[in-house]
Amino acid sequence: GNATQKAYEETLLKFIYYHNWFVGGSECPREGAGCSNWFYSQVWWVGIAGETDGISSYASAAQIRQETVNSFNQMAAEQNDLYNYGVMPWQVLPILSSPWATECTFGGMKHLGISLLESSIIDKVDYAVKCPNDFRVLEIEKFTPRLLTFDEYTHWHFIFYFDLRPYIREESTFNLIKTVFVCIVLCVASLFFSSDANALVLQPVEHMITKVEKIRDNPLAAMKMADDEFKREEITKMKKGQKGTRNRLLDAYGSCCKHNHTELMETVILEKTIIKLGSLLALGFGEAGANIVSHNMQGSNSANVDAMIEGSRVECIVGNARIRDFSIATEVLQGKVMTFVNQVAEIVHGIVDQFHGAVNKNNGDTFLVIWRTAGMSDEQVTKMAEMSIVAFARIVAAVHASVVLAGYRHHPGL
């Protein structure tokens, strides 16, 4: 009957207007009230689908009358509820009342219906769409009745297609932001990781390689490295000792609240070990044996040690410093004689190095001291000879002035 037809048409229009595509992309008709722009999808295609050709009769019967469309659109224009439908553009009203004759094939089924976006509308519809397959699969979503048997569903059923493009755009934006964020996090993490790797591994290893190469080229350079390292350690200790009261309190507070991380890293320990080994080599072989060490270290393709290398002429000034009555001192001091020799050696090594010489070796009570003059001019050789004489004079003076050695003068056995 007419009442049933009108009830069907109004119900269908309520569904279409509730998901009004043309309000979904704009502001709501009433401020503070809801409308279809609350959602990310709106209906744009209405029709009947089925696998048989008999859906044409159902599609013709499903057409909405023009007067019903006009009256409902007028009601939507005057509506002032918590949720407002909003009106359709005047170009769409004839489409709503037109026959459901737009034929499409999608998902293996024949479709007959109407498309609200079948023609372009200025400032409304930029891309005209007649069938669901004109969209990408991800950009549409279909809704169909569920309380149907399989035979009823395949015979014919109502079908509504929703436009998911606003949702897809929003999702794509968030995916791009997420991708950019992940890229930034990975870049920052890689920078931190590479920075830690450089600071903890690569740079210490490079420093060690540099020191080994210096020792390989000039074994005596290990002595200077050891002296420089010792000076840096002493300066660091002195700076820590000169901290003010405020800094000491902060350090005390930090030591109470944090674990002690003063343990040296393995790379630092290895670097200091290389310097110590180089210093011991320089002390053991001396100035004259530096060529032996350098020759063996430069042969990197073999682990063999060749101490019998061919000799070479060395031009130098040779000096001999001897501890007098050393045999008596040995008998008297016995186990403490090494302490006595080391105290004397400290003076001899320090002064000789200060005057550009080198203590080649120590043989009990004798120190063999040399000043190399290879490649020097006559004037430079003369200056080097004068420095050697001054060095020995300074050694004698330092031994007599030493407070440490002064204690041996009052020894009853000496």
With a CB cutoff of 8 Å and minimum separation 6, the contacts of 374 are 314, 315, 316
Using pLDDT thresholds of 50, 70 and 90, give the confidence band for residue 88. Answer: very high
Residue bearing tokens 């490079």: 206
Give the pLDDT of residue 254: 58
With a CB cutoff of 8 Å and minimum separation 6, the contacts of 31 are none
Give the pLDDT of residue 300: 58
Lowest mean pLDDT among 68-72, 137-141, 199-203, 250-254: 250-254
**What is the enclosing helix (H) or strand (E) of 46?**
strand 42-50
Cβ(352)–Cβ(295) under 8 Å?
no
- For 298, the token pair is 């430069």
Relative to beta strand 157-163, strand 366-372 is unpaired
Indicate if the pLDDT at residue 1 is higher than 80. no
Average pLDDT, integer, range 171-191: 95
Lowest mean pLDDT among 1-10, 238-247, 273-282: 238-247
Instruction: Give pLDDT tens digits for 11-29.
Output: 999 999 999 999 988 888 8
More confident residue, 172 or 204: 172
- For 352, the token pair is 């000789």
Mean pLDDT of the chain: 85
Q: Rounded to the nearest 10 degrees, how much is the dihedral formed by the CA atoms of 111, 114, 115, 121? A: 160
Q: Over the Cα atoms of the chain, what is R_g?
A: 49
Indicate if the pLDDT at residue 414 is higher than 90. no
Give the pLDDT of residue 171: 92
- Cα–Cα dist 45/114, whole Å: 6
Give the pLDDT of residue 141: 93
**What is the biggest distance separating any 2 CA atoms in the chain, rounded to whole angstroms?**
141
- Cα–Cα dist 348/285, whole Å: 17
Lowest mean pLDDT among 70-84, 205-219, 337-351: 205-219
**Number of DSSP helices (H) and strands (E) in the chain, helices first:** 16, 8
Cβ(9)–Cβ(64) under 8 Å?
yes
Q: Percent of the chain, pLDDT > 70?
A: 87
Q: How many residues does the chain have?
A: 414
Lowest mean pLDDT among 167-171, 239-243, 341-345, 381-385: 239-243
Indicate if the pLDDT at residue 243 is higher than 80. no
Cβ(35)–Cβ(88) under 8 Å?
no
Give the pLDDT of residue 259: 47
Indicate if the pLDDT at residue 317 is higher than 70. yes
Give the pLDDT of residue 304: 65
Using pLDDT thresholds of 50, 70 and 90, give the confidence band for residue 335. Answer: confident
Average pLDDT, integer, range 262-268: 69
Average pLDDT, integer, range 294-304: 64
Strand, helix or coil at 324? coil
Indicate if the pLDDT at residue 292 is higher than 70. no
Instruction: Give pLDDT tens digits for 372-406.
Output: 888 888 899 999 999 999 999 999 999 999 888 88
Indicate if the pLDDT at residue 261 is higher than 50. no
Give the pLDDT of residue 72: 94
Using pLDDT thresholds of 50, 70 and 90, give the confidence band for residue 225. Answer: confident
Indicate if the pLDDT at residue 348 is higher than 60. yes
Strand, helix or coil at 367? strand
Among residues 365, 350, 359, the alpha carbon closest in space to that of 282 is found at 359
